[in-house]
Structure 1
Amino acid sequence: MKKAVIVFSGGIDSVCAASFLKSKYELYGISFSYGQKANREIVAAKTFAKKLGLKEHKIVDIDFMKSLYGDSNVLTSKKRKIPSKFDYSIVVPIRNAVFLSIASAWAYTLNASVVAYGAHTGDKNYPDCRPAFAKKLESAFNQGEIDGINSGLRKDISIWSPYREGLSKSDLLKIGIKTMGNSIFNTWSCYASKKLHCGQCESCNNRKAAFSNAKINDRTKYLK
């Protein structure tokens, strides 16, 4: 079976994307601790890596990024408040480029043919989620390994996302719940770091809307 490396946060998008790819690829998950407030997502990632039977799951500590990002965004800054709807302050500068670079480096060493992340059609406000970005990054990475690819030592990779398949967050939920059942409600979406989802941040609101649009009763426990 072909191999794929998936950026695996423990949220709905990455867990459902992994569910979608599971029958097609031998999956290797990679999660990142980058100084985010929502450190509970790492706990969720560990749990779902086991549930999905990932071949291997790496947690990579890049906490130094927090000092580089400073107060540029609300996800790593302690000073800035998290908004309830989209605001550009939520965008962590080229976060997915950082994640995908490291994931692709691992993919080349594994001779994996796919690097996946959970960006979907609802992520249109995030530039590093868009298919145009993924295609350019894919081209750049393969160019960076072109001699190894041409010699047969490396496989060229494709960067896959639900967005490139035209899948929405609700579409992903419908796929994921078939594989994961009620455990899907234990995925972690919240931008805050509390015992339960806050129910007020942009990510929690997107989560609620996705369940509603998918006509799935949302059993996630929210503070509000």
Structure 2
Amino acid sequence: MKTTLVCSGGLDSVSLAQVLAAEGRLSRIVSFDYGQRHRKELEFAAACAGRLGVPFHLVDLSGLGAALSGSALTDDVAVPDGHYAEDTMRVTVVPNRNAIMLTIAFGIAAANGDTAVAAAVHGGDHFIYPDCRPAFTDAFGAMQRAALDGYADVALHVPFVRATKADIVTAGAAAGAPFAETWSCYKGGDLHCGRCGTCVERREAFHLAGVADPTDYEDRVFWCAAVAAHVAGGA
């Protein structure tokens, strides 16, 4: 089963790339520039494709991203600090982002004879992002079967959709994922900030998985307080 992977250059999608490559299933990597303030992640996605020796497709959606206004990822809106399981993180939603990206990826996969499209959505995203939930991925897979009926048979592969980010770190480590060569931070600075939701989640995942975190963070203290507050709140 040759697989097109939607890859942001983050820990989750690079780990999945490594797993698919180890299984001999990775066919190509597709990434999207939607005007995200942290577009430096795309450099890590391109490097992942080069490292694994597969074609890299960069799709320019910057014009569309500008129309999907209101998100802290695309507009001049502050990226909040704290844990993902907080309502403040809803400002990081880009409406229909995964639906749009996956639709394009399915077209690329079908045009190139691939039989699956993979995405690294996971259980930790469910609270904030509706297009990372099993209800969405199940419905989307069915929709694409109808959309390509008679032309191509392409499945949606989401092995982490019910997994935790710590599970992803464990799987990535087993497959030899180069975690230092991934980018998560939504603020897009020189270093991971260590404070935004995706940084806090990243740090927590390494801790829970018992895997050394090679990431340089600007704030090395904030994570402990954020996790303590999250646990105390019973989230």
Question: Quick one: which of 147, 152, 159 aligns to 1:162?
Answer: 159
Q: How does 1:14-93 map to 2 (within 5 A)?
A: 14-22=13-21, 23-54=23-54, 56-70=55-69, 72-78=70-76, 80-84=77-81, 85-86=83-84, 87-93=89-95
CA contact (8 A) 1:131 1:163 kept: no
Mapped partners of 1:32, 1:221: distance in 2: 25
CA contact (8 A) 1:17 1:118 kept: yes
Q: Which amino acid aligns with 1:190?
A: C
RMSD over aligned Cα atoms: 1.4
2:226 corresponds in structure 1 to none
Mapped partners of 1:19, 1:171: distance in 2: 14
> CA 1:114–1:177 in structure 2 vs 1: closer, same or farther (change >3 Å)?
same
CA contact (8 A) 2:141 2:156 kept: yes
- The answer for unaligned runs of 5 or more in structure 2 is 220-235
SS in 1 for 2:186: coil
* Count of residue pairs brought into register by the alignment: 212
CA contact (8 A) 2:39 2:188 kept: yes
SS in 1 for 2:104: helix
> Alignment identity in percent?
33
Question: Quick one: which of 155, 174, 189 aligns to 2:170?
Answer: 174
Mapped partners of 1:36, 1:200: distance in 2: 18
Q: Which amino acid aligns with 2:147?
A: G
Mapped partners of 1:26, 1:116: distance in 2: 9
**TM-score, normalising length: structure 2:** 0.85
> CA 1:188–1:15 in structure 2 vs 1: closer, same or farther (change >3 Å)?
same
CA contact (8 A) 1:19 1:175 kept: no
Mapped partners of 2:19, 2:28: distance in 1: 14
- The answer for unaligned runs of 5 or more in structure 1 is 149-153
Question: Quick one: which of 100, 103, 122 aligns to 2:102?
Answer: 100
1:111 corresponds in structure 2 to 113
SS in 2 for 1:31: strand
- Deviation per CA, 1:71-115: give whole Å up to 9, x if none: x2110011x111123321111101000110000001111221111
- Deviation per CA, 1:146-171: give whole Å up to 9, x if none: 132xxxxx2x221111334x332111
1:24 shift after superposition: 4.2
**Is 1:124–2:126 an aligned residue pair?**
yes
Mapped partners of 1:77, 1:114: distance in 2: 33
Q: Which amino acid aligns with 1:179?
A: A
Mapped partners of 2:47, 2:122: distance in 1: 23
1:151 corresponds in structure 2 to none
